Structure 1
Amino acid sequence: MDKNSLVNKYARNDDEKVGFAHLFDLAERSQNRNIVTSGNFFSESESVSASAMLKEAGIDSFFYGGYENAERRCPVFLPDYYIKEDIINDPTLAEIKFLTYSVDSYFTDAALSHRDVLGSLMALGIERCTVGDIICNKGEGTIIVRETIAPFLVENLVKIGRYPVEIKSYDNLKIEKTEDFEEHFDTVASLRLDSVVASFFSLSRSTATDKITSGLVTVNGVVTVKNSALVKEGDRIALRGQGRAELEKIDGLSKKGRTRLLFKKYK
């Protein structure tokens, strides 16, 4: 299958078509010049689709976001004399930078959210594809970005929300991401995706169905449009604009014959 056919097979919209097509250019440049090449950040679902496309094309690649299990990751293409661990040890090879932000200790009530940070970046005209994961911890945190925008942000990102911040840039950082979540119990008629999505995100069954068929739901990073797909323990489900949840345990049947679920809802 040729490049255009592969792009059309795996891309879900025009933006993905452009981004996925560029991967072939990066791969060709890496091979022809015998250098490391990398691209902008992809979302989890985009990374899964792009990786499958490149695999079908017979092109070696990997996706890295600055730390293990990063959600947003960059495509990286390596010449023969490099291995993945080289990039992990030196992310600058993949043009990845780490920015830390901190609010002055005077503002003891500062609790910046992911939305606060991303909103401040967008207000500066930063493109979303140049920003990786944002890890927040009250008045401080880490922003993983493409190397090209790091100097600009160090100079110009002086406030997040209503708080003045100090920005520092690093070539590498050890990221220890802890996610806040709440555990919930519920019962569902079945383990069909539409039933589980309705439970996890407090939706009607018909609304959950519409969200799924519109391509707004991912299961383990893969967009899933089949309402009857079955969900199993450990599956991570994300609904665009609504958050993420994970099916932790299937706990048998209730007296009314409904399936009992224990799930994590991430904050």
Structure 2
Amino acid sequence: MIAEDKLLLDKAYDALHLAERRNIPRFLGFLNEHESLYLRQHLPKSADVAFYGGYPDAVRLMMGAAAEEESFPITALEFTYREQDDLRHRDFLGSLMALGIRRDTLGDILTGKGRTVIFVRDDIVPFLLSDVDKIGRVGVKVAYADADDLPIPDDIEELMFTLSSLRLDAFVAAAAHLSRDKAARLIKNELVMVDHVTETEVSSFLKEGMTITIRKYGKFVLTELRGTSKKGKLRVAVKHYR
């Protein structure tokens, strides 16, 4: 157990104990994918916890102790701008953090043409509404968003890979368009993560639902196994977050 994970687990237990003692919900987050997965795996199954990020498919999640979805302190804000201004996830994240906003107060950032919705912690809403009028050099207007009308992210693509096996080096080679030897070097050089933990074993096997992050190539989610080709190779459906 690394120090950061132990500290996170201690905070989760503190939230649980405080929620039980005071009979009010307590929250952690927003958590990244590794953090929320770690807590799911290490908190007792009987623990009264829920994970929510503001909408059903959220990636960054808050942990709530003794909490229902409607009690989570999450607000969706809409940033609008000219369609020709091609703002991306990194533009919003960089600009907001440069203003002193902590990463754990920001949930998913869903970018679209002329419109981006960001899920944020309630306590930073007044600042964002009143003080943010630019992302980088682009002028933006900030208002409350309809969480039921979210932009479809334009930085996700659906892919299909044909693999000789579900070994990590085979997947990385297909995802990064590299030879198996070069893919193996990426893995051994600690440039690949599986489910948000660095993986250096080239022969480790992947499973459906796993997330593979390759430095400089993006994040890939192995969404579904689609059987085998006529030549006996595995067909897998993949989401690529560019």
Question: TM-score scaled by structure 2?
Answer: 0.82
**How many residues are treated as equivalent by the alignment?**
234
The offset of 1:68, in angstroms, is: 0.7
Q: Deviations over 1:153-188 (max 9, x none)?
A: 222221012211111246x72254634444545554
CA distance in 2, matches of 1:184, 1:199: 11
**Structure 2 residue 185 is matched with structure 1 residue 207:** yes
Percent sequence identity over matched residues?
32
The offset of 1:209, in angstroms, is: 2.3
CA distance in 2, matches of 1:186, 1:195: 10
CA distance in 2, matches of 1:44, 1:243: 15
Residues 1:216 and 1:205: Cα distance change in structure 2 (over 3 Å): closer
Name the SS of the counterpart of 1:22 in structure 2: helix
Match of 2:197 in 1: 223
CA distance in 1, matches of 2:28, 2:44: 17
Residues 1:164 and 1:50: Cα distance change in structure 2 (over 3 Å): same
Report 1:65-80 matches (<5 A).
Answer: 65-78=53-66
The offset of 1:42, in angstroms, is: 0.7
Work out whether residues 198 and 208 of structure 1, in 8 Å CA contact, stay in contact via their aligned partners in 2. Answer: no
Report 1:167-186 matches (<5 A).
Answer: 167-169=142-144, 173-174=147-148, 176=150, 178-180=152-154, 181-184=156-159, 186=161
Match of 1:190 in 2: 165
Name the SS of the counterpart of 1:29 in structure 2: helix
**Structure 2 residue 228 is matched with structure 1 residue 239:** no
Gaps of at least 5 residues in structure 2 are none
Residues 1:185 and 1:29: Cα distance change in structure 2 (over 3 Å): closer
Question: TM-score scaled by structure 1?
Answer: 0.75
The offset of 1:217, in angstroms, is: 1.5
Work out whether residues 38 and 75 of structure 1, in 8 Å CA contact, stay in contact via their aligned partners in 2. Answer: yes
Runs of 4+ in 1 over 6 A off after TM superposition: none
Work out whether residues 64 and 75 of structure 1, in 8 Å CA contact, stay in contact via their aligned partners in 2. Answer: yes
Name the SS of the counterpart of 2:128 in structure 1: helix
Match of 1:157 in 2: 132
Question: What amino acid is the match of 1:153?
Answer: L
From the two aligned structures, give the one with the greater strand fraction: 2
